[in-house]
């Protein structure tokens, strides 16, 4: 168990597995998603719905919606920690994609008045999925090494824009529905087997950067980004890949990166429903430290 006097709190957009959440001693607040009239919570252990069932529902025509963590959820989660005498470092889902970070800031302001002796620090990670998860992983390593809450907060602020997010999707129609690409682009791309290669920009928005011909071309384009942008790829302790129910494609990317750049550890996990509602099945996303995004 950690002996530090602060808890790292994040939300389920980080897409970390339950095993890694436990290993890193994180507190994770679930976002919500809806299929029809029914509401579900996105817990790391997927107790409400498995990733497979979620993507099968989309394949069957379901159109899920999602909602952010609200200030009341943050207050409810943070108050026992603060009352127990510990401080809190919140690493929140990108403000460019969700109001979750704003909710954290509202709750922090409210609780700071009630617990003036406690520190409540909020980082807008400008990250999503396992990019947010990778920032949490590094923060947990820094805490384990004895870093103070301010030192870990500062490291996250200094390095969050060095956390590269690169991804591709197999079906442009899901991005069209979410307003990420135009209808004309989606139809033309589908007909010509053109796959987008996208990333997260410095404002935490998803941006369409380039196009690749065919699925393998788009996966190889992700691999190439490590060479273009990665800071000492072979020396990085961990890279992460998330996928929306297409593990073989994610494994292909991991194997090629290890083979090409000598990266030792790449962990895979599912893209959760919050991001997956917009990408649909068949998304592969890669996260690593680079010179810039």
Q: Do residues 144 and 183 share a domain?
A: no
Q: Do residues 200 and 217 share a domain?
A: yes
Q: Do residues 21 and 157 share a domain?
A: yes
pLDDT in tens, 129-141: 999 999 999 999 9
Domain boundary residue among 146, 161, 176?
A: 161
The Cα–Cα gap between 7 and 27 comes to 7
Q: Do residues 69 and 91 share a domain?
A: yes
pLDDT in tens, 5-63: 999 999 999 999 999 999 999 999 999 999 989 999 999 999 999 999 999 999 999 99
Domain membership of residue 115 as a residue range: 6-161
Q: Do residues 17 and 99 share a domain?
A: yes
Domain boundary residue among 161, 176, 193?
A: 161
CATH number for the domain spanning 258: value is 3.30.1180.10
Domain total for the chain? 2
Distance of CA 151 to the CA centre of its chain: 22
Q: Do residues 118 and 190 share a domain?
A: no
Q: Do residues 273 and 152 share a domain?
A: no
Q: Tokens standing for 232?
A: 């000492």
The Cα–Cα gap between 281 and 231 comes to 30
Looking at residue 174, its pLDDT comes to 66
Quote helix, strand, coil % in the chain, to nearest 5: 45, 25, 30
CATH number for the domain spanning 22: value is 3.40.50.10170
Mean pLDDT for the chain overall? 93
Q: Report the pLDDT averaged over residues 188-199.
A: 79
Q: Do residues 36 and 78 share a domain?
A: yes
Q: Do residues 12 and 153 share a domain?
A: yes
Q: Do residues 193 and 242 share a domain?
A: yes
Q: Do residues 46 and 82 share a domain?
A: yes
Report if residue 1 sits inside a domain: no
Q: Do residues 186 and 115 share a domain?
A: no
């Amino acid at each position: 168990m950690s002996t530090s006097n602060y808890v790292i709190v994040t939300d389920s957009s980080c897409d970390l597995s339950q095993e890694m959440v436990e290993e890193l001693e994180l507190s994770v607040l679930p976002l919500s998603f809806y299929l029809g009239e029914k509401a579900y919570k996105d817990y790391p252990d997927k107790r409400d719905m498995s990733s497979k069932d979620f993507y099968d529902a989309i394949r069957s025509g379901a159109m899920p919606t999602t909602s952010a963590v609200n200030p009341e959820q943050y207050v409810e989660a943070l108050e026992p920690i603060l009352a127990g005498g510990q401080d809190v470092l919140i690493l929140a889902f990108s403000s460019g994609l969700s109001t979750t970070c704003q909710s954290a800031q509202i709750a922090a302001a409210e609780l700071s008045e009630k617990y003036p002796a406690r520190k409540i620090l909020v980082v807008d990670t400008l990250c999503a999925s396992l990019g947010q998860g990778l920032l949490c992983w590094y923060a947990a390593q820094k805490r384990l090494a004895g870093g103070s809450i301010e030192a870990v907060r500062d490291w996250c602020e200094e390095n969050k824009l060095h956390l590269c997010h690169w991804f591709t999707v197999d079906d442009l129609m899901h991005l069209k529905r979410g307003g990420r690409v135009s209808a004309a682009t989606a139809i033309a791309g589908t007909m010509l087997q053109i796959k987008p290669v996208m990333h997260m920009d410095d404002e935490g928005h998803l941006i369409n950067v380039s196009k690749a011909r065919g699925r393998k071309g788009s996966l190889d384009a992700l691999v190439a980004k490590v060479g273009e942008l990665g800071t000492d790829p072979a020396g990085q302790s961990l890279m992460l890949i998330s996928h929306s129910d297409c593990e073989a494609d994610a494994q292909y990317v991991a194997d090629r990166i290890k083979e090409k750049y000598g990266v030792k550890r790449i962990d895979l996990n599912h893209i959760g429903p919050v991001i997956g509602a917009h990408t649909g099945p068949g998304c592969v996303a890669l996260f690593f430290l680079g010179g810039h995004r």
